[in-house]
Amino acid sequence: MIVVMHPGATQEQIHKVEQRLIELGFKTHPIYGEEKTVIGAIGDKRVLSSEAIINLPGVEKIVPILRPYKLVGRELKPENTVVRVGDVEIGSGKLVVIAGPCAVESEKQLLEAASAVKKAGADILRGGAFKPRTSPYAFQGLEEEGLKLLNRAKQETGLPVVTEAVDPRDVPLVARYADIIQVGARNMQNFRLLREVGLTGKPILLKRGMAATIEEWLMAAEYIVDAGNPHVILCERGIRTYENATRNTLDISAVPLVKELSHLPVIVDPSHASGNWKLVAPLARAAVAVGADGIMVEVHPEPLTALCDGPQSLNPNNFSELMQSLVPIARAVGKEL
């Protein structure tokens, strides 16, 4: 890291900072500029927050040089991670499509959705049994009953299922039914939940927090991998900005950027990103074109009656058309669909 001293820092202050750095195990390299002195500090101290130094007299700021994550970074593991779920590979050359309703509402609704997305070519079924809702008065999910219905749909279609866990106490239960456990945007920094899903060893779909930086997102993934579970799939789902013409702002640039920084697969959720079913298809096409490893799309047999996120759900016909439109784009960027 680089310690930047105030222009008026005294020689003694500079010396004390060096001393402290040496105590902490760094080698120091001061550079005396015309206006300011900076001290280069060598040593792999990711654990050390800059807090031990920043308050020393004369210090203006600390500039970290190493990235704060290790296990999820490309620097130590240059080759792509491929997450396997049954026969499906996420992060290899094949584009993966996850689809299904926001929430599991009933057997009929889920089975219809599952068979429709299967028919249109989806690889994995999604459906929420535990729903984090902004309002305590909104539908909170069918819980274990929902998990059982997901299992039923899996039996019928052969599709592996992804579903969300929202409470560390539910993780073992969710892990019994889910092929992939989702950590939702609101829980991206629920560090206890991250540890708990990390301990399951199951594939984890980690959504980006609503206002998380890319670095914080990768640090959340680092928690899971650090708990012993390398099977992490990142999911960009839009970030919160001043623009409210869409529910969130899809940060499409995050996809190629994260693929440069990390070896983990990255998928895109155009449904939550936009909150508007009319935008889902174009955004899904953009996601494929930008190089995502997959997409996750909300599909409901009858969006008009959905208990959750109807406005952003495709009906089976629209989903099927979307799937067909993705084929030439996937091919154009060297992926199969």
Of the candidate spans 45-53, 89-97, 111-119, 175-183, the one that interacts with a copy of itself by CB under 8 A turns out to be: 45-53
Number of shown-chain residues binding a copy of itself (CB under 8 A)? 103
Plot region of 315 (φ>0 → left; ψ -120 to 50 → alpha; else → beta): beta
Look up residue 281 and give its amino acid: A
Q: Least separation, in Å, of the C-beta of 76 and a copy of itself? A: 9
Q: Which of 82, 167, 175, 199 binds a copy of itself (CB under 8 A)?
A: 167
- Interface mask toward a copy of itself for 193-232; x: CB under 8 A: -----------------xx-xxxx--x--xx--x------
- How far is 218 from 71, CA to CA, in rounded Å? 10
Answer yes or no whether residue 331 interacts with a copy of itself by CB under 8 A. Answer: yes
DSSP state of 167: S
Answer yes or no whether residue 11 interacts with a copy of itself by CB under 8 A. Answer: no
Answer yes or no whether residue 277 interacts with a copy of itself by CB under 8 A. Answer: yes
- How far is 5 from 56, CA to CA, in rounded Å? 10
- Go through the chain and tell me how many residues it has: 337
Structure tokens at 99: 């689809």
- Interface mask toward a copy of itself for 125-144; x: CB under 8 A: -------xxxxxxx------
Answer yes or no whether residue 290 interacts with a copy of itself by CB under 8 A. Answer: yes
Q: Which of 19, 106, 244, 317 binds a copy of itself (CB under 8 A)?
A: 244
Answer yes or no whether residue 15 interacts with a copy of itself by CB under 8 A. Answer: no
- One DSSP character per residue, 154-194 reads HHHH---EEEE--SGGGHHHHHHH-SEEEE-GGGTT-HHHH
- Burial (Cβ within 10 Å: 0-12, 13-18, ≥19) of residue 11: exposed
Answer yes or no whether residue 283 interacts with a copy of itself by CB under 8 A. Answer: yes
Q: Which of 96, 279, 322, 337 binds a copy of itself (CB under 8 A)?
A: 279
Q: Which of 239, 267, 295, 322 binds a copy of itself (CB under 8 A)?
A: 239
Asked whether the beta carbons of 322 and 81 are under 8 A apart, the reply is: no
Q: Least separation, in Å, of the C-beta of 275 and a copy of itself? A: 10
Q: Which of 13, 56, 115, 121 binds a copy of itself (CB under 8 A)?
A: 56
What CA dihedral angle connects 98, 99, 105 and 109, to 10 degrees? -130
**Residue 15 or 331 with smaller CB distance to a copy of itself:** 331
Give 124's contacts (C-beta < 8 A, 6+ positions apart).
85, 88, 96, 97, 98, 99, 159, 160, 161, 162, 179, 180
